[in-house]
Amino acid sequence: MTIELRLTDVDPPAAEPKRTIYRDIVNLPDPVKLGITVRYFNYDDVGLYFQITGSGTGYTFGTVNLGLLGSGSNAYINLDEFASKTKPSTGDLPNGELEENITLTLKAYTDSGYSNLKWTYERIVTVHWINSADAAFTQDVLNNFDDGTVQGWSGVIEADAGTSGSTTLTVAVATDYVLSASYSLKATYEIANNTQLSTHFNVRFRLEKAITTPNKSTVFAIIDMRDSTYVNGANAYTNIKNDIIRKNGDVLIYIGRPYDTVNADYVPINKWMRMVVPLPANTSLTLKIIVDGKMYNASGAYRTHQWLAWLDDFKIISK
């Protein structure tokens, strides 16, 4: 194997686990868009120019040039709105569920013009659709925050870069961005009055909630979240590198790239994202939504940096 494509954080030579993308059709736009984070590897003796596309019944895929990847290297990329298709109807999902397959195709070229193809690698991925409003499912938990409370969610700072400023993490209901009126949950991680000059800092926080899942054969959590950032001046950067959904310590979903010092966001910003994850039955666990970011201040002036995350209409369903 000279190139490879993976959708998990499992390193070679261990086998790549089966990867299923779970999606809930309720309140999605039509057509629906598919975003996905992938990891690609170059085992060749020379640097190669990578490209990715896909195929699947009813899908329209883009083609993304990933650029040069050196020999022996690997990289992550989040492919936002990588594919689209007509949203399945409720009639397409008997008993509230439907599975289909898509094929992701990774190509490696020897030239920057992507004309001299050297390697091709394909990976089949299962897409598992659900209809959370189907009568087959029981809605066990709905956190829409419309009672004006945080409904059991809390925030934890995991990495604090407030070396020359004050750091706070607030978790409260909000009205600025909601999926269902009147409230959503909003986490604001703020480093105020920071004057640290020309140093990159890794910052990280999480939302979490303790959950006991129902004793059913099929259990899903449906997570709708939105990311944003803010900094009050020029020559300063506030970025989000990745979002991670964990069940206790286990990674269920990874979006973006590992932390680096590039002044760029690696996750979709200022838009709602839906993530669906299967959960074990009859289990007490802590569900964690982790936001990993970067702070940089090139000016030395006082700057206030914020990393923000919203959550709304969180559900646990089962059957």
Domains in the chain (CATH in brackets) are 3-130 (2.60.40.10), 138-318 (2.60.120.260)
C-beta neighbour count of 313 within 10 angstroms: 21
Are 293 and 307 a contacting pair, CB within 8 Å? yes
Could you tell me which of 246, 245, 167, 248 has the C-alpha nearest to residue 203? 167
Residues contacting residue 37 through CB under 8 Å, at least 6 positions apart: 7, 76, 77, 78, 79, 254, 255, 256, 257
Q: What are phi and psi of 294, to 5 degrees?
A: -135, 145
Question: Prior bond to 182 cis, omega within 30?
Answer: yes
pLDDT attached to residue 298: 85
Give the pLDDT score at 164.
65
User: 23 in helix, strand or coil?
Assistant: strand
- Averaged over successive runs of 10 residues, the pLDDT of the chain (319 residues) comes to 91 91 97 97 98 98 98 97 96 95 98 98 97 97 98 94 79 97 96 81 96 97 98 92 97 96 96 97 98 89 92 98
User: What is the pLDDT at residue 299?
Assistant: 79
